[in-house]
Structure 1
């Protein structure tokens, strides 16, 4: 068995050494539906420090309540400014209000946000024409999009993946359903990356994606505090893959795909 410094650190209860982890998918804010975990801003940072997470990309829980998009973005901007260099934010919009989409995206961009989160929860499918504004904006400004992707959502995105090759689409919860479909999508579309967080994950899912040549296209995420971040870390640290691939998944790919801007002033 090869020596693995990441596993040794986990067994010792220490942050991972020489591995500045990037969490590509987290949540924050006072509206957490799971008070089981400390979802406060301080709890978020404590969890990051405990594991060695150098930077986090997240969005408020209002991502599930899109009519509150503007308020959610305001909270994100406040948090990003409070913790510069540690917390980075996804902007979100309400696709059911087409007249407000571009102004809100522009407001967030001007304030310093450099990535977009989309979710179809109780709203319009990704194939709806209202999403064209979102995709066009992302293409113009070179912004990656984290897309909640499960089941039918993958197929709704197919047209956008083809028509906007300049956008990096990060498929959230990769492998939660039909893991072969996610792998085929990433292999077919070079602008697709896979994000790892899932609450119920088949054994060997990380290995499944790596063995299909996708080690450079996988980003680590937690969905915390909805899911225990340590659980998600263990899935990669103890995966039967090379140490170099673990580094790729835990931070190197994210540093390549996601922007890490200095937040704008108030």
Structure 2
């Protein structure tokens, strides 16, 4: 049964690496892992149907990225809990850590622990919750500089809202482009292309070290075509937002787009493999 997907051989040939896998995104469970592991397990049916090679999720590591102090203390005292998904799915999962920009000292320690000396490949700057701060906030600067020294990757949540921001801690593609222009050798990923993708694409167009990520909004005709035309296929990275979004919807944005098969391969995996290669080579 194909479930409306392309043939398995075609999907395998795309070599899909998912940059935005969100199991138990806001809280891994009171024991530090149960909810997370259950969400990943439930996602595996879709993952196997899509023939995804790799999925990258964003781990909480005990630095105040949830509103649960008991969980934060647990993750700090038992870091092996953070690694449970890697132990269970060692050939499938990649990881980044969620940073707390309101706790730059703890976040800097986490970068060293989990990226320099650990298995993680990048960091996630949230757009909401206790760890969020605007990406241009001075508290973010030392974190950006340390991540850059390690050759790692920054995924920044971005979302443009009708009527403007609901919180000063949110970030827009325009602000991310401003930050990225100060660190031209650092790769930044603009999560969700800002949501309102026409503005988002234009905002980052002239900042070549910013790539856009494709998930988080309904499939809309013209998105990938415009992004490919304005940015080039090598500045677009696929994300599924599983399990909170539909795998078929997110894949269709790329697979059904009027672009070449080679451009689809760039977006669905090749680009992400390339930008992760620097930090992976150091592991």
Q: Please, what TM-score do these two structures have when normalized by structure 2? A: 0.77
Aligned residue runs from structure 1 range 1-266, under 5 A: 10-11=5-6, 16-29=11-24, 31=27, 40-60=39-59, 66-67=65-66, 71=75, 75-109=81-115, 110-122=117-129, 123-151=132-160, 152-174=171-193, 176-177=195-196, 179-259=197-277, 261=280
| 1:3 aligned residue | none
Structure 2 stretches of 5 or more lacking a match? 30-36, 161-170
1:91-144: CA deviation from partner (whole Å, max 9, x where unpaired): 122111232121111111112111111113043211211111210111110111
Whether the 8 Å contact between 1:22 and 1:56 is mirrored in structure 2 is yes
Which structure exhibits the higher relative contact order, with contacts defined as CA atoms closer than 8 Å and separated by 6 or more residues? 1
1:39-91: CA deviation from partner (whole Å, max 9, x where unpaired): 6222233321111100011115899x714678398654321233223100111
Structure 1 stretches of 5 or more lacking a match? 1-6
Q: How many residues align?
A: 252
**In 2: Cα distance, 1:241 partner to 1:164 partner:** 31
Change (3 A) 1:40 1:135: same
Whether the 8 Å contact between 1:15 and 1:51 is mirrored in structure 2 is no
Whether the 8 Å contact between 1:15 and 1:49 is mirrored in structure 2 is no
CA RMSD of aligned residues (A): 3.2
Q: Which moved more, 1:52-61 or 1:240-249?
A: 52-61
Q: Please, what TM-score do these two structures have when normalized by structure 1? A: 0.82
Q: How far off is 1:229 after superposition?
A: 1.4
Classify the secondary structure of the residue corresponding to 2:54: strand
Change (3 A) 1:244 1:91: same
